Amino acid sequence: MTKEVVIVSGAAGGIGRAVAERLARLDTHRLVLCDIDRKGLDEVIEGLPAAGHQSFTVDVGSEASVRNLFLELKNQGIQASALANCFGISPVADNGDRISLEQTSLDLWNRVFQVNSTGIFLMCQAFLQQENIKNPEQPKRLVNVSSAAAQLGGYRSCPAYIASKASVIALTKSIARDYAEDGVLANSVCPGLIDTQMFRQGNPADNVASRVPLGRLGEGDDVAGAIEFLLSPLASYITGASIDVNGGYRMA
């Protein structure tokens, strides 16, 4: 059986790693994992239950780096049919406090957008520019990780993070509409309070769970479950959607 090739970016992070582990357990996917963290990637690859997966060091905010990834895949005769973008940065002050708008330098603003927004654009663009990608008879699936902060305005995330993650939702809807006739399904996932390293850098987790109706922080695997579903044939009539994974933290 030919395995579907799925690119997972941000694969060394909490959510990306959980996605890689879930898909690897299915043993129906050949994974292409990428992240700027080489050491983290190696740890993820070594822990996967099946062989045959690949990993690449990629700076998603660099056009050249993203192009090199897809060129290497093309040279190997590999075409991905699914993409899960799971990366993001959310800076905090040196003391762990939230950075307000008035404290946000232009350099910080641009740095966050370069990863969180431009990185999504570059990865999606390169994915859609693959040869023979536009084939309604062979659906392609794309999932971008946004954030509940983009929907709520956030209470702890910096404004640059909130705004950049809001752009992810809008871009995903644009892709869903523009490429629907080509068989491309594009959706976003909006995690709430997920217990990852990025979350803990500015937030002791102890008292935060009380804000969640389900009474606990989410795990990376909670988000990975939603992404697995959106990448599966079960989601063949879903596109342009933003799926909340937040334990009831936000109820639309």
Annotated catalytic residues are: 161
Q: What is the DSSP string of 154-201?
A: -SSS-HHHHHHHHHHHHHHHHHHHHTGGGTEEEEEEEE-SB-SHHHHT
Tokens of 81: 């049919």
Nearest CA-CA partner of 145 in 90, 97, 102: 90
Which residue bears the tokens 């799925």? 6
- CA dist 198 and 15 (Å) reads 10
88: left (phi over 0), alpha (psi -120 to 50) or beta: left
Sheet holding 242-245, edge to edge: 54-57, 29-35, 4-9, 82-85, 140-145, 184-191, 242-245
- CA dist 221 and 13 (Å) reads 12
